């Protein structure tokens, strides 16, 4: 590949990577996508240099000025977002530059615009797709900058006449890239890849080690909101047709203890619906109460020892403000920010609607003990009877069927279990809804005519039949547990996991779950497809947990974990070295030294004699070498050993004086201490020793006799101090 084509390819890869980073956020409208893609493709094939020469300069300036009112209109009426409006402006400028590029400066502008697009994408998305765009941008950026510098230097050398014409083929002359007619594109690509890997190898540890001051970036607006099929805050019955299922991921749920698998009927609760008008379910009240955190948690109910179940939710950007929980929520983490609760114990976070959301929940998943539920249920509170026993005028066959199924069962809880089992075993699951369109009684049509339906029909039928038996009940919308990903150790919940079930009121447990819907149709996939999907999902979850939501607390745990691991390695190394040393010592202890010396005596004698003979020969024949080695040895030892010996002598003198009650203060210099002893013989000896010590340690030159003299002075001090002690003892007597 020629240099010109390779340089153009690398530059376009860099420009395209910035554009793809923006496009992957989902924030761009279809017009912007088509417009810039068309400009990118057209500029690749067009002769942009000739096009720029034909266009008058005033035209380009006019285009830039004319876009200003469009920018204002875009901000006020169309995008209504400063970031998106600025992105549109950047794409427009990039399109103009692509179509009129002619100089090196134009390429520099395009590189900077691509970098600005990457920065804008980082504010609009936190998906793992940004990591792919970043890697492509780094690789193509390194490659393009290398080639750009080569191109610029080549042009400069041509201008200075430093390139010989003989290095270029005649067919390449005039192309502007004569020096690179046969260009090693593969080598440059490998070099660029190596530099990219080196950059990442330096940047990734810095990302994890630099001090963190934030609490993560998962709870932030997303560039694209996902409409959730199957889940809604209302339920419409009676529609005929085929329900379209979507495999799009709605959320991921991670348990604190992945080895403790939850029960098979685990569900992620969304909203509870109580009002049925004959065709649809809704909430009879819309009022919500705002909750306030207590420390790091919104504490909702008292904890019950032995039934706490901890979950961490990673919600995608959904078109709902519902906060999903598991069964009965006891506490929700405070990092959710703003939390509201309605009368049915459903939770909402309006400030986080349409954005990705991360939060933790502590739930009570204890299963009810039927023996604790009384046969004669106490009269429910007025508020519960008024809301959850409401039944519209329906087909009387529904009430008759409920009584027929439960007539032989006296216990209210047993009646609910019987209805649940009856619906599961006598009706079929189907996403294809048949029957009379807009039936006046969809539940009767399901129970007595069609006898097939999806979860909303099963849950609606059981709720109505429980109410007709005098048991308060409500319909709940949410999701099934989903599919467990062993690679990411999390539950992956998709849109087709949307589900409806029933909650019935049984004191003292209050609301108890029932699920009358038969199992869903098998959605099994081939093994390799499942492994690949699990791998992608685990990578996305890792990106979310370890990169997007990497905060101060995770950094603290990471540093502590690394410290613990290093200490463990040190302990293991010490243990291995100790074991090795013990083995060597045991082998040495078992060695018979006398036998070994007797066996190798002649070899040792010959080796020592040969070495001694060679040494004597060198010593006699090479006087100059002997002299040089001697002076090298003297120079190596004269400085360091003299200082060490002088310091040792002086320290011994201080120890002698301290033993006789004469101690040097911390603020005194050696000479000040010697002067403080007065005019005694010991003081005179110490002063002379101190002068030698200062000269040897701090001076640049000293005599070889200084150390000998210092040793003699130290001996004199010992005798003088011993005589002083003897005279003091004599006087005492």
Reported as a single tens digit per residue, the pLDDT across 312-343 is 999 888 888 899 999 889 999 877 878 999 99
Q: How many Cβ atoms are within 10 Å of 713's Cβ, its own excluded?
A: 21
Reported as a single tens digit per residue, the pLDDT across 149-189 is 888 887 777 666 655 444 444 334 344 444 455 677 888 88
Q: What's the confidence (pLDDT) of residue 501?
A: 95
How wide is the angle at C-alpha 78 spanned by C-alphas 76 and 84, nearest 5°?
Answer: 90
**Phi, psi for 680 (deg, rounded to 5):** -70, 170
Pairing status of strand 452-453 against strand 428-429 = parallel
> Sign of the C-alpha dihedral, residues 248, 250, 254, 255?
negative
Reported as a single tens digit per residue, the pLDDT across 202-249 is 888 887 777 665 545 445 555 455 555 567 888 888 665 555 567 888
Q: What's the confidence (pLDDT) of residue 167?
A: 42
Q: What's the confidence (pLDDT) of residue 383?
A: 87
- Into which CATH architecture does domain 235-547 fall? Roll (3.10)
**386 vs 660 pLDDT, higher one:** 386
The structure tokens listed for 719 are: 């005798």
3-class DSSP state for residue 242? strand
| CA 58/CA 69 separation, integer angstroms | 18
**Phi, psi for 81 (deg, rounded to 5):** -145, 125
Q: How many Cβ atoms are within 10 Å of 35's Cβ, its own excluded?
A: 16
| CA 432/CA 435 separation, integer angstroms | 10
Q: What's the confidence (pLDDT) of residue 594?
A: 60
Identify the DSSP state of 128.
T
Residue 433 backbone class (left: φ over 0; alpha: ψ -120 to 50; beta: rest): beta
Identify the DSSP state of 372.
G
Reported as a single tens digit per residue, the pLDDT across 693-713 is 888 877 766 666 777 888 888
| CA 391/CA 399 separation, integer angstroms | 11
Reported as a single tens digit per residue, the pLDDT across 634-647 is 444 444 467 767 78
Identify the DSSP state of 521.
P
Closest C-alpha to 269, from 363, 368, 390, 383: 363
Query: pTM here?
Result: 0.61
Q: In the Cβ-directed half-sphere of 238, how many Cα atoms lie within 13 Å?
A: 13
Q: Using omega within 30 degrees of 0 as the cis cutoff, is the peptide bond preceding 122 cis?
A: no
Q: How many Cβ atoms are within 10 Å of 671's Cβ, its own excluded?
A: 14
Q: What's the confidence (pLDDT) of residue 115?
A: 92
Cα distance between the two ends of the chain? 109
The structure tokens listed for 706 are: 């200084």
Helix (H) / strand (E) containing 635: helix 623-659
3-class DSSP state for residue 491? strand
| Contact criterion met (CB below 8 Å) for 314 and 252 | yes
Highest mean pLDDT, choosing among 50-59, 398-407, 568-577, 684-693: 398-407
| CA 439/CA 430 separation, integer angstroms | 18
Range 131-156 average pLDDT: 88
Is residue 504 over pLDDT 80? yes
| CA 130/CA 21 separation, integer angstroms | 6
Chain centre to alpha carbon of residue 181: 46
What secondary structure does DSSP assign to 152-196, as a single string? HHHHHHHHHT-S-GGGS-GGGTTSS-GGGSS--HHHHHHHHHHHH
Give me the residue label for tokens 């000896």: 685
The structure tokens listed for 87 are: 């992105």
Reported as a single tens digit per residue, the pLDDT across 240-284 is 555 556 788 899 999 877 655 565 578 999 999 999 988 899 998
Chain centre to alpha carbon of residue 609: 69
Q: Mean pLDDT across the chain, nearest whole number?
A: 80
| Contact criterion met (CB below 8 Å) for 268 and 320 | no
The structure tokens listed for 649 are: 């002598």
Range 129-156 average pLDDT: 88
Closest C-alpha to 502, from 452, 454, 464: 464
Q: How many Cβ atoms are within 10 Å of 644's Cβ, its own excluded?
A: 13
């Amino acid at each position: 590949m020629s240099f010109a084509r390779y340089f153009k390819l690398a530059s376009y890869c860099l420009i395209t990577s910035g554009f793809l980073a923006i496009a992957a956020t989902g924030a761009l409208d279809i017009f912007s996508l088509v417009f810039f893609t068309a400009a990118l493709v057209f500029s690749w094939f067009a002769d942009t240099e000739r096009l720029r020469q034909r266009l008058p300069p005033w035209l380009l300036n006019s285009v830039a000025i004319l876009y200003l009112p469009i920018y204002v209109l875009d901000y006020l009426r169309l995008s209504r977002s400063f970031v998106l409006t600025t992105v549109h402006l950047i794409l427009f400028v990039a399109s103009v530059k692509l179509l009129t590029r002619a100089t090196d400066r134009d390429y520099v502008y395009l590189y900077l615009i691509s970098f600005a697009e990457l920065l804008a994408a980082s504010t609009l998305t936190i998906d793992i797709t940004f990591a792919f765009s970043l890697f492509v941008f780094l690789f193509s950026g390194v490659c393009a900058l290398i080639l750009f510098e080569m191109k610029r230097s080549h042009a400069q050398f041509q201008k200075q006449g430093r390139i010989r014409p003989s290095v270029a083929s005649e067919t390449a002359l005039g192309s502007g890239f004569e020096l690179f007619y046969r260009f090693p594109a593969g080598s440059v690509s490998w070099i660029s890849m190596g530099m990219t890997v080196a950059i990442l190898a330096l940047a990734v540890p810095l990302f994890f080690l630099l001090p963190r001051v934030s609490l993560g970036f998962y709870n932030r607006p997303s560039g694209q909101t996902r409409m959730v099929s199957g889940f809604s805050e209302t339920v419409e019955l009676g529609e005929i047709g085929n329900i379209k299922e979507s495999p799009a991921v709605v959320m991921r749920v991670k348990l604190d203890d992945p080895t403790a698998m939850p029960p098979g009927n685990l569900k992620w609760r969304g909203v509870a619906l109580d009002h049925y008008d004959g065709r649809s379910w809704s909430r009879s009240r819309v009022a919500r109460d705002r909750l306030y955190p207590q420390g790091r948690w919104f504490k909702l109910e008292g904890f019950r020892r032995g039934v706490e179940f901890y979950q961490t939710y990673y919600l995608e950007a959904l078109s709902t403000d519902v906060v999903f929980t598991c069964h009965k929520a006891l506490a929700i983490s405070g990092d959710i920010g703003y939390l509201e609760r309605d009368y049915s114990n459903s939770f909402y976070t309006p400030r986080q609607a349409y954005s990705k959301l991360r939060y933790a929940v502590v739930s009570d998943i204890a299963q009810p003990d039927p023996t604790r539920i009384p046969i004669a249920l106490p009269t429910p509170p007025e508020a519960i009877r008024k809301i959850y026993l409401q039944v519209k005028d329906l087909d009387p066959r529904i009430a008759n069927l409920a009584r027929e199924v439960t007539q032989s069962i006296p216990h209210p809880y047993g009646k609910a279990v019987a209805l649940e089992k009856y619906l599961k075993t006598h009706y079929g699951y189907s996403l294809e809804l048949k029957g009379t369109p807009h039936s006046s009684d969809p539940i009767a049509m399901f129970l007595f005519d069609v006898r097939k339906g999806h979860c909303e029909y099963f849950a609606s039928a059981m709720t109505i039949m429980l109410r007709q038996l005098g048991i308060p009940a409500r319909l709940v919308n949410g999701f099934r547990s989903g599919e467990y990903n062993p690679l990411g150790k999390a539950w992956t919940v998709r849109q087709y996991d949307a589900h409806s079930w029933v909650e019935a009121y049984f004191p003292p447990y209050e609301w108890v779950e029932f699920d009358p819907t038969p199992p869903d149709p098998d959605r099994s996939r081939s093994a390799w497809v499942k492994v690949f999907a699990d791998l992608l999902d685990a990578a996305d979850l890792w990106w979310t947990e370890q990169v997007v939501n990497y905060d101060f607390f995770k950094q603290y745990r990471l540093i502590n974990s690394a410290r613990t691991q290093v200490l463990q390695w040190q302990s293991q190394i010490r243990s291995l070295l100790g074991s090795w040393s013990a083995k060597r010592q045991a082998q040495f202890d078992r060695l018979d030294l006398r036998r070994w010396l007797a066996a190798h005596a002649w070899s040792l004698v010959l080796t020592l004699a040969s070495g001694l003979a060679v040494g004597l020969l060198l010593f006699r024949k090479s006087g100059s070498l002997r002299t040089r080695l001697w002076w090298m040895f003297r120079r190596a030892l004269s400085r360091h050993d003299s200082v060490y010996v002088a310091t040792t002598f002086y320290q011994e003198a201080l120890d002698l004086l301290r033993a006789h009650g004469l101690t040097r203060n911390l603020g005194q210099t050696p000479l000040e201490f010697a002067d403080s002893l007065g005019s005694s013989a010991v003081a005179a000896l110490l002063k002379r020793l101190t002068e030698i010590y200062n000269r040897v340690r701090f001076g640049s030159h000293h005599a070889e006799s200084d150390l000998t003299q210092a040793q003699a002075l130290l001996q004199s001090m010992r005798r003088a101090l011993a005589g002083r002690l003897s005279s003091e003892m004599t006087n005492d007597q």
